[in-house]
Amino acid sequence: MKKLPIKYIFATLIVLLGLVGLFLLQNKKPAKPEAEAPKLTTVTLAPDYTPNTNHTGIYVAQKKGYYKNEGIEVKILPYSGNVSPEVLVSTKKADIGISYTEGVVSSVAAGNKVVSIAAIIAHNTSSLVALENYGIKTPKDLDGKIYGGFGAPFENAVISEMIKKNGGKGDFKTVLLDIDGIKALETKKIDFAWIFDGWTGVQAKRQGVKLVSLSLVQYGIPDYYTPVFISGPTQIKEKSEVLRRFIKATAKGYNFAIKNPEESAKILIDSVQKGTFDDPAFVIDSQKYLSPRYSDPGKPWGVQDEKAWTDFPKFILSTGQIKDASGSAVTTLDYKSLYTNQFIQ
């Protein structure tokens, strides 16, 4: 039998391979399109001040992807001293804000309805402070002294009551501060100031400024929450699931900060605009102070107590300094409506 030339064999193989390829191509199942990443729900947050260690859990939750895992993207609005978080939330220009008990009470009294949905710090960490060499030892010694204030309506009433509870008359002079409280003390423009221990107190210690610290809670003022996350009744009704996811992710951020203060402080520093903090070591020290105070042992972060939302609001309303929209003093509120734990897990 005569053999076929090699070229005919190759040609036949090429034809056969082509037919097989055509068959496979025609019977190939269409590739499934790549699944699109789920669209994130934007949540707007109105801060109470420029970034600081009160806010660390938010930035940790962003960096660690906790918000993304919950299907949300948190948009932090620019801080403005001209419009308060309470107004932005009550007018639905922000979903969530950062406030404090006094701010919630004042806003609700004035008709701007907001609700605290989580406590950032478990207890009040603010104090009245004076330079150690001023001879001030107790609140009674503040009588006749000059206080450097911020202009809030309840300030003088709280301080006066604190002095009276400790044997004084509650009389002092107030000037509005236009410089840092510690600098005002050092330059003798004022005799005492109201500070947050975890920020200005830590700052003073690092600068070697020796202070006498009079804790509000230790000297008779009812404990209260400052700061807190707030939302509005409308948002709570219409966006309850989104708020639940926000609080869940944020709690993870603060719980991480509780266990990892130094790493969390570095996340805060790296997450904000460059130059926000000129002393990173100070931020770390502040974080080490605050981290163990974010929540009480055995209690979930953010949980709020009815006593705190009753006793202190009653106290500041009793001063007559909290007014409604018409300027009349408000003497009582529905205290249970000022806060909710429904989003805390």
Question: How is the chain split into domains, by residue range?
Answer: 41-123+225-338, 126-215
Residues 88, 319: Cα–Cα separation, whole Å: 27
Same fold? 41-123+225-338, 126-215 = yes
The fold of 126-215 is D-Maltodextrin-Binding Protein; domain 2 (3.40.190)
Per-residue model confidence (pLDDT) at position 32 = 52
For residue 178, what pLDDT is reported? 87
Q: Amino acid identity of 168?
A: G
Q: What angle do CA 119, 234, 313 make, to 5 degrees?
A: 40
- pTM attached to this predicted model: 0.87
Q: Name residue 116's beta-bridge partners.
A: 230, 339
What pLDDT is attached to residue 31?
Answer: 52
From residue 195, how far is each of 77, 124, 125, 270 by CA, in Å? 25, 11, 9, 26
φ, ψ at 39 (rounded to 5°): -70, 130
* pLDDT score, position 45: 98
User: Which strand (E) or helix (H) includes residue 72?
Assistant: strand 72-76
Strand-pairing partners, residue 115, are 231
How would CATH label the architecture of 41-123+225-338? 3-Layer(aba) Sandwich (3.40)
pLDDT for residue 37: 60
Q: Exposed, middle or buried by CB within 10 Å (0-12, 13-18, 19+), for 114?
A: buried
CA distance 173 to 241: 48
pLDDT given at position 15: 45
pLDDT reported for residue 20:
45
The mean pLDDT values, 10 residues at a time, for the chain of 345 residues are 49 49 54 64 97 98 98 97 95 97 96 97 97 95 96 89 95 93 94 96 96 95 97 98 98 98 98 95 98 97 98 94 95 97 96
Q: Where are the alpha helices (DSSP H) in the chain?
A: 6-27, 56-63, 66-69, 85-90, 101-109, 155-164, 181-186, 202-206, 233-238, 240-259, 261-271, 280-290, 308-318
Give the DSSP H or E segment for 229.
strand 228-231
The candidate with the shortest Cα–Cα distance to 159, out of 315, 345, 310, 304, is 315
CA distances from 234 to 53, 89, 91, 95, 243 (A): 29, 10, 10, 9, 12
Distance, CA of 57 to CA of 249 (rounded, Å)? 9
